[in-house]
Structure 1
Amino acid sequence: MARILFTGGGGAGNEALYRYLGEKHELYFADADITSISPMIPVDRRFEIPWANDPDFCDVVMELCTSRGMDYLVPGVDEELAQLASYKNGSVQILVPQREFVEEMLDKYGFAMALAKAGLPVPETRLLHDCDGMDFPLIAKPRSGRGSRAVARVESPAQIDAYLILQGKPGSEYVAQAIAPGHEYTVCVHADSTGELQTVVPVKVGIKRGITLSATAKASTPIYNYVKAFQQKFRPQGIYNIQCMMDEHGNVSPFEVNPRVSTTFCLALQAGFDPFDHQSTPPKGCIPQSPIHLRRHWANFITSERAAE
Structure 2
Amino acid sequence: MTAVLFTCAGQRVDIVSAFGRAGATTVAADLDPLAPALYHADHKALVPHVDDPGYVDALAALVAEHDVRLVVPLTDLDQEIVSREREALEPALVLAPAPEVCRTMGDKYLAHAFFEEHGIDSPRTWLPAEIPDDVRFPLLVKVREGFGSRHIYRADDPGQLEFHLRSTPVESMVQELCLGEEFSIDVFCDTEGRCLNAIPRSMIQSKGGESIKGESLRDPELIEHGARVAETIGIVGPANVQCFREPDGSLPVTDVNPRFGGAFPLPLAAGSRYPELALALARGERPEPSLGEFRAGVVMTRFFSDLCLVEDGNGELVPFAEELPHPIAAEPGQG
Corresponding residue number in structure 2 for 1:190: 188
Q: Does 1:296 align with 2:302?
A: yes
Corresponding residue number in structure 2 for 1:242: 241
Following superposition of structure 1 onto structure 2, how do residues 93-172 of structure 1 map, counting pairs within 5 Å? 93-133=93-133, 134-169=135-170
RMSD: 2.7
Which one is further off, 106-115 or 159-168? 159-168
| 8 Å CA contact 2:97, 2:234 repeated in 1 | no
Query: In the superposition, relative to structure 1, how do residues 45 and 184 fare at CA in structure 2: closer, same or farther (>3 Å)?
Result: farther
Structure 2 residue runs of 5 or longer lacking an equivalent are 318-335
Query: In the superposition, relative to structure 1, how do residues 132 and 19 fare at CA in structure 2: closer, same or farther (>3 Å)?
Result: same
| 8 Å CA contact 1:29, 1:37 repeated in 2 | no
Letter in 2 for 1:86: R
Which protein shows a greater Rg?
Answer: 2
Corresponding residue number in structure 1 for 2:80: 82
Letter in 2 for 1:153: R
Letter in 1 for 2:167: L
Corresponding residue number in structure 2 for 1:71: 69
**TM-score of the two chains, using structure 2 as the length reference:** 0.80
Percent of matched pairs sharing the same residue: 22
Deviations 1:168-211 (A, max 9, x none): 34xxx211111112222222222222222221121222211122
What displacement does 1:228 show? 3.5
Query: In the superposition, relative to structure 1, how do residues 57 and 115 fare at CA in structure 2: closer, same or farther (>3 Å)?
Result: same
Corresponding residue number in structure 2 for 1:92: 92
Corresponding residue number in structure 2 for 1:284: 290
What displacement does 1:231 show? 4.1
Corresponding residue number in structure 1 for 2:250: 251
Structure 1 residue runs of 5 or longer lacking an equivalent are none
Distance 1:21 1:296 in 2: 19
Corresponding residue number in structure 1 for 2:263: 264
Deviations 1:265-285 (A, max 9, x none): 233333132223439946511
Distance 2:264 2:155 in 1: 31
SS at 1:78 equivalent: coil
| 8 Å CA contact 1:10, 1:34 repeated in 2 | no
Distance 1:302 1:208 in 2: 27
Question: Which gives a bigger RCO, structure 1 or 2 (Cα 8 Å, sep 6+)?
Answer: 1
**TM-score of the two chains, using structure 1 as the length reference:** 0.86
What displacement does 1:258 show? 1.1
SS at 2:204 equivalent: strand
Distance 2:307 2:77 in 1: 29
Deviations 1:211-256 (A, max 9, x none): 2211222332111222343245333333222111224675321101
Which one is further off, 70-79 or 106-115? 70-79
Q: Would you say how many aligned residue pairs link Structure 1 and Structure 2?
A: 303
Q: Does 1:62 align with 2:60?
A: yes
Letter in 2 for 1:33: D
Query: In the superposition, relative to structure 1, how do residues 156 and 120 fare at CA in structure 2: closer, same or farther (>3 Å)?
Result: same
Query: In the superposition, relative to structure 1, how do residues 195 and 39 fare at CA in structure 2: closer, same or farther (>3 Å)?
Result: closer
SS at 2:79 equivalent: helix
| 8 Å CA contact 2:182, 2:244 repeated in 1 | yes
Corresponding residue number in structure 1 for 2:31: 32
